[in-house]
Amino acid sequence: MELREFGNKEMWDTSKMSYILLQLSIPPTLRFKMISVLNLRKQFSNVTAVDDVSFKAQRGKIFGLLGPNGAGKTTTIRLLLNILSPDDGQITFDGFAFSSALQNKIGYLPEERGLYRKSKLLNTIIYFATLKGLSESEAKKKAKEWLARFELLNYAERRIQELSKGNQQKVQFICSLLHNPEYVILDEPFSGLDPVNQLLMREIFLEQRKAGKVVIFSTHIMEHAEKLCDELILINKGKIVLDGTVSEAKKRFGKNAIYIEFDGDGSFLSSMNNVAKCQLFQNYAELELNNNESPSEFLRTIVAQLNVTKFETKEPSLYSIFLELVGNDSTEFIPKQSELGMTSNGRVVQK
C-alpha cells in the first residue's frame, strides 16, 4: 500500500553510516516498519531540550516515552510531528522522511486539551477529521460511531465547554484516532481520566497495537508505562537514561528488592542497617537490601516488630528505577493516589 522507493531522495539524503547500521540491526521483516529516530537534538536559547536521542518504535508495539516534567518528552513529540524542526538528527516513518503527505497518517493527542471551547462537539471532530483529509460525510459518519462508543452521542450538538474534563479528553482522543492513522502519538493520554475510562483507553491502545500501528505515548506516571509499554525509553534533561523492554529494564536494575505489606508502624524500616533503600508507604513498602543480605533472614527480623501480611521478593517497579535514575529531587514523581490507582492511602517517604 505504501510507496516505498529505495531511490527516495529524502531517504538517501540521510544516508549516514549509522543510519544504515541501524537498519541492518533490525530483522528484515521489520525493517522500515517503524518510526526511527536517530541522534535527535534540539536546542532552545539556553537549554538543550533533546540531546542525542535515538530510538525505534515498531509497528504493532506500544512505545513509552517516559520522563519527569520538563525532561523533553513534549519537545521530542513535537519534533516527531514536524511542528518543530530538529537542530540535528533524523526521523523516518517506515523509511521515509517527513513530508506533508504524511500528516494525514499521523494521529496526535496533545498534552493539554486542544479543543475549541465554544464550538460544538460534532463540528469540532468533523473539522479535525477533514483537516486529515477525510471527506465531510465520511468524517460525520465515523464521528458518530466513535461518539457512540464513548457514550457521548447525546452531547454531539453541545458546546465543548459544557463537557467535563474527562469527556473533553475523550473527544480529544476521538480527534486523534478518527482518521485511522498509521502512527499514533499521544502525549500524556491518561491525565484527567477516571479508572473506568482509563480501562477504555487501554482497550483502544491494545486495539491499535493489534492493527499493526506504531503507538507512541508519553507519560510521567510509571504505573501506566509498566502496564502498557512493550518498549520504552526514559529521558531526563533531554538525554536517554534507560531504554529497552520493561523486563529488560527491570533485569538491569534487578537488585535485592522486597515488597512487603503490613499493619503497624513501619517507619523503623527505613533506618535499619541492612536496608539500602526504602520507599515507605502507609501500609506497604518497597525495600532494597544490601547485597549480601538474605531476604528470609530479613523477614525473620521484622516479624518481631510488624504484622506482615504480604512478603514478596521482586523486581523493582519502574517507579523505583525511575527515582534511582532521575534522582530524588524531582518531586513531580511522587504519584497521586488516583494516578497510581492504588487502594492504599500511601504516603511516600524517601530515605
Partner 1 sequence: MKSKLFTVAKREYLENIRSKAFLISLVLTPVIMIGFSLLPTFFASKSETNTIVIGTVDETGWLSDKLSQRLNEKYTLPDKQPSYLLRIFREEGIQTHRKIADSLVLNEEIEGVFIFPKSIENDTLIEYRTTRTGNIRLVNRFESAIQEILREERMRRANVSDEEIKKFSQSLEINPTKITEEGEEKKVDFRTQFFSSYIFVMLMFMLILTTGQMLVRSVVEEKSNRIVEVLLSSCSASDLMRGKILGLSGLGITQVSLWAIIGITAVPQFAVMMLSANGIWLMPIYFVLGYLMYSAIFVGVGSLVTTEQEAQQITSYISLLMVFPIVLALNAFENPNSPLFQILSFIPLMTPTMMALRISVQVPSTIEILATITLLLVSTFVLMWLAGKVFRIGILSTGKRPNMKELILWAREG
Interacting residues toward partner 1 by CB under 8 A: 78, 81-84, 100-101, 103-104, 106, 108, 110-119, 123, 127-128, 130-132, 175-176
Q: Do 243 and 78 contact (CB within 8 A), yes or no?
A: no
Q: How far is the CB of 133 from partner 1 (least distance, A)?
A: 8
Backbone angles phi, psi at 289, to 5 degrees: -90, 160
30, three cell numbers? 521489520
Q: How many other β-carbons are positioned within 10 Å of the β-carbon of residue 165?
A: 12
Cβ proximity to partner 1: between 128 and 333 the closer is: 128
First to last CA, the chain: 55
According to DSSP, residue 315 is labeled: P
> Measured from the CB of residue 146, what is the shortest distance to partner 1 in angstroms?
16
User: Residue 192 Cβ, how far from partner 1 at the closest point, in Å?
Assistant: 14
Our CB check for partner 1 shows the closer of 108 and 150 to be: 108
Among residues 123, 74, 70, 80, the alpha carbon closest in space to that of 105 is found at: 80
Closest distance of CB 142 from partner 1, Å: 16
Q: How far is the CB of 45 from partner 1 (least distance, A)?
A: 8
CB of 172 to partner 1, least distance (A): 8
Contacts of 39 (CB under 8 A, 6+ apart): 18, 52, 53, 54, 88, 89, 90
Nearer residue to partner 1 within complex by CB, 132 or 142: 132
Please identify, using beta-carbon distances, which residue of 114 and 295 lies nearer to partner 1.
114
Closest separation between CB of residue 182 and partner 1, Å?
13
β-sheet bridge partners, residue 40: 53
Q: Which residues touch 156 (CB under 8 Å, ≥6 apart)? A: 120, 121, 122, 143, 144, 147
C-beta closer to partner 1: residue 23 or 119: 119
CA distance 279 to 288: 9
The rounded distance, in Å, linking the Cα atoms of 79 and 75 is: 6
CA 55 to chain centre: 14
Q: Given the complex with partner 1, which of 118 and 336 has the nearer CB atom?
A: 118
The DSSP bridge partners found for residue 218 are 65, 187
**131 or 303: CB nearest partner 1:** 131
